[in-house]
Amino acid sequence: MTHTGILLFAHGARAPAWSRPFEAAARALKAQAPEQHVALAFLEFMTPTLLEAGAQLAQEGCQSVTVVPLFLGAGGHVRKDLPRLMDELAQAHPGVAWHLSPAVGETDILIEALATSALSLARAN
């Protein structure tokens, strides 16, 4: 049996409350796909880091992990920092196939959800 994982990757912030929506998304993902190993990681200010969360998934026996950037766009962090971190993951855990997905903000489903949410908020005022 092949163990697979999904590693959600967010920016991070100094304010602890900032991570709540991302933690909620990780819980929802675990509920939707209980067969997947799921971890949440942060680029800066918060833990675990991408390398720490990746190590956790490797320790859990994942042989294939998809890293999903929880960014609205593919700015410098997604285009520059993340590929470097992906290389570090591959070097540290060569027995794991690491895959990088596009940023969630580039998906049609999230773009529609943002528009729907904005309209709902505007109508509430």
What is the per-residue pLDDT across 64-86, written as a single tens digit (0 to 9) for each?
999 999 998 776 667 788 999 99
Q: Does the global pTM surpass 0.85?
A: yes
CA distance 50 to 56: 10
Q: How many CA atoms lie within 13 A of 65 on its CB side?
A: 32
Q: Quick: pLDDT tens for 15-64.
A: 999 999 999 999 999 999 999 999 999 999 999 999 999 999 999 999 99
Confidence (pLDDT) at 36: 97
Label each residue of 7-31 as H, E or C.
EEEECCCCCHHHHHHHHHHHHHHHH
To the question of domain 3-124 being in CATH 1.10.10.10, the answer is no
- Decide which of 105 and 75 is more confident: 105
Residues constituting the chain = 125
pLDDT for the residue 75? 66
Average pLDDT over residues 102-119: 95
Query: How far is CA 11 from each of CA 18, 24, 95, 104, rounded to the nearest angstrom?
Result: 10, 15, 27, 13
| pLDDT computed for residue 73 by the predictor | 74
- Of residues 111 and 77, more confidence is placed in 111
